């Protein structure tokens, strides 16, 4: 069994500042890190945490320093993929000491082989614009790995969802040109789960025949407004993260259950026994 915690869209700013003037994203991420650490004895072992983009709000070096300082308390190894609020070169510079960060100036893509699955992180960011897209380099890289993996269980993680959510301002910023990705994933014979961020809301749907999960934000949500003229705005709804659990197929269970469950980002009262 492999377990991966997905954290998304922390939008960290410089110490002392508020994101969009109203959200203390640093306090929220600190609380989330504490929450993860406190529940690990009950849900562990967990192999890895992955932050699916928008680590920072403006992609500034001091924001990445702040992000890393907060995440240094997490009692898990973690990896990241860039979002539209990140700046690829600044993100790469901030994590240059991590062996999983590739060199050069191209997309930040990586692969991690765990006991019962493979986790792949893809860079869907496009410099200077809010929408996402994969470069041909990324698509070729993914195709090579899918061929190598054959039918191994796969968790594919990137920032921009290749689907529409009904929230018009966010759908205008989703993953462009997703047909090439769809073709690649339709041909994948193994269990594949797709995990994205960007929308700051928990959503499930499917893409290319595979389940797709969008994680909630770690601090604030995009307002649930499905009208055509919905303004792009945020709300301070309860935030969270997602725990993905994947088991390796076996002779006894060739198609094991795969579970993705939302966990609140901060501690809640309880537990209390059902029978008092
Ligand atoms: Fe975001
Ligand atoms: Fe985003």
Give the model confidence (pLDDT) of 155-187 as tens digits. Answer: 999 999 999 999 999 999 999 999 999 999 999
Ligand at minimal distance from the CA of 222 is 1
What spacing in Å lies between the alpha carbon of 135 and ligand 1's midpoint?
21
Cβ neighbours, 10 Å, residue 86: 29
What spacing in Å lies between the alpha carbon of 85 and ligand 2's midpoint?
6
Cβ neighbours, 10 Å, residue 41: 8
Give the angle 146-107-198 at the CA atoms, nearest 5°.
90
Q: Give the integer Cα–Cα distance in Å for 166 and 184.
A: 25
Neighbours of ion ligand 2 (CB under 5 A): 54, 83-84, 198
pLDDT digits (tens, 9 = 90+) for 55-91: 999 999 999 999 999 999 999 999 999 999 999 999 9
What is the structure's pLDDT at 257?
83
In the predicted structure, residue 115 carries a pLDDT above the cut 90: no
Q: Beta strand 240-246 with 78-81: parallel, antiparallel or unpaired?
A: unpaired
What is the structure's pLDDT at 202?
97
Give the angle 172-178-184 at the CA atoms, nearest 5°.
165
What is the structure's pLDDT at 255?
81
Helices 61-71 and 25-43 meet at what angle, rounded to 10?
A: 30
Name the band, by pLDDT with cuts 50, 70 and 90, for residue 249.
Answer: confident
Domain ranges of the chain: 2-257
Q: Give the integer Cα–Cα distance in Å for 31 and 25.
A: 10
Q: Give the integer Cα–Cα distance in Å for 161 and 211.
A: 12
Q: Beta strand 234-235 with 221-222: parallel, antiparallel or unpaired?
A: antiparallel
Which tokens belong to 227?
């009208």
What spacing in Å lies between the alpha carbon of 128 and ligand 2's midpoint?
12
Ligand at minimal distance from the CA of 25 is 1
Please compute the mean of the pLDDT values over residues 187-198 and round it to a whole number: 95
Q: What one-character DSSP code corresponds to residue 209? A: T
What is the structure's pLDDT at 209?
96
Q: Give the integer Cα–Cα distance in Å for 33 and 10.
A: 11
What is the structure's pLDDT at 6?
98
What spacing in Å lies between the alpha carbon of 181 and ligand 2's midpoint?
19
What spacing in Å lies between the alpha carbon of 82 and ligand 1's midpoint?
10
What is the structure's pLDDT at 248?
81
Read off the pTM.
Answer: 0.97
What is the structure's pLDDT at 250?
85
Taking Cα atoms as reference points, which of 112, 121, 47 lies closest to residue 82? 121
- Homologous superfamily of the 2-257 domain (CATH): Metallo-dependent phosphatases (3.60.21.10)
Please compute the mean of the pLDDT values over residues 109-126 and round it to a whole number: 95
Q: Give the integer Cα–Cα distance in Å for 94 and 20.
A: 23
Return the higher-pLDDT residue of 251 and 197. 197
Name the band, by pLDDT with cuts 50, 70 and 90, for residue 218.
Answer: very high
pLDDT digits (tens, 9 = 90+) for 88-113: 999 999 999 999 999 999 999 999 99
Please compute the mean of the pLDDT values over residues 107-130 and round it to a whole number: 96
Please compute the mean of the pLDDT values over residues 255-271 and round it to a whole number: 92
Q: Beta strand 259-264 with 240-246: parallel, antiparallel or unpaired?
A: antiparallel
């Amino acid at each position: 069994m492999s377990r991966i915690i997905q954290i998304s869209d922390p939008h960290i700013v410089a110490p002392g500042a508020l994101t969009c003037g109203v959200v203390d994203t640093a306090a929220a991420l600190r609380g989330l890190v504490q929450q993860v650490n406190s529940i690990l004895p009950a849900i562990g072992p967990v192999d890895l945490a992955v932050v699916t983009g928008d680590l920072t709000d403006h992609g500034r070096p001091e924001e990445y320093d702040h992000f890393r300082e907060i995440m240094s308390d997490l009692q898990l190894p973690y990896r990241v993929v860039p979002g539209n609020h990140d700046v690829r070169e600044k993100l790469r510079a901030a994590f240059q000491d991590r062996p999983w960060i590739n060199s050069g100036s191209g997309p930040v893509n990586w692969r991690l082989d765990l006991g019962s699955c493979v986790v792949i992180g893809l860079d869907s960011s496009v410099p200077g614009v809010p929408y996402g897209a994969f470069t041909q380099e990324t698509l070729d890289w993914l195709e090579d790995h899918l061929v190598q993996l054959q039918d191994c269980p796969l968790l594919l993680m990137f920032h921009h969802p290749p689907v529409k959510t009904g929230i018009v301002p966010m759908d205008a910023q989703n993953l462009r040109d997703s047909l090439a990705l769809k073709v690649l994933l339709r041909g994948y014979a193994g269990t594949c789960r797709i995990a994205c961020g960007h929308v700051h809301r928990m959503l499930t749907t499917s893409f290319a025949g595979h389940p797709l999960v969008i994680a909630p934000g770690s601090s604030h949500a995009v307002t649930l407004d499905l009208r055509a003229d919905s303004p792009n705005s945020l709300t301070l709804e309860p935030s969270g993260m997602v725990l993905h659990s994947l088991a390796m197929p076996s002779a006894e269970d060739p198609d094991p259950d795969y579970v993705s469950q939302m966990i609140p980002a901060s501690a809640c009262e309880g537990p209390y026994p059902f029978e008092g």
